[in-house]
Copies of this chain bind each other. A is one copy, B any other.
Amino acid sequence: MRRDIFQAIADPTRRSILTLIAVQAMTPNALAEHFDSSRQAVSKHLKILHECELVSQEQRGREVYYSLEIDKMKEIDAWLAPFRQIWEKRLDQLDALLINLKHEQHEK
């Protein structure tokens, strides 16, 4: 199965799971309470998130605690970086424009 992080975060339930476990590790049962779908559905989402290493498991008795692998999230940030440069550049250009405008007003 071809899994990548972008496909993983495409689903809104999976994005919510990531947000929830960012605060603290949770079990599938505890997570399922936050959604309308069944525990098994949540379990399948967790499997996908685990396959692309966005979450890690810790077995504790018969319970399994899932926590966020924050380093993997950085890969999304890395893809976004060049685009961020574009809007930051445009912001810089706007700044330059405003400074120019100020100068012009000063010269009046």
Residues of B within 8 A of A74 (CB): 87
Q: Is the CB of B83 within 8 A of A22?
A: yes
Specify the main secondary structure of chain A where it touches its partner.
helix
State the number of copies, please. 2
Residues of B within 8 A of A15 (CB): 6, 79
- A contacts, CB < 8 Å to B: 4, 6-7, 9-10, 12, 15, 18-19, 22, 68, 70-71, 73-74, 76-77, 79-80, 82-84, 86-87, 90
15 A-B residue pairs with Cβ-Cβ distance under 8 Å, sorted by A, are: A6-B6, A6-B12, A7-B10, A9-B10, A22-B86, A68-B83, A68-B86, A70-B83, A70-B86, A70-B90, A71-B87, A73-B80, A74-B87, A76-B80, A77-B84
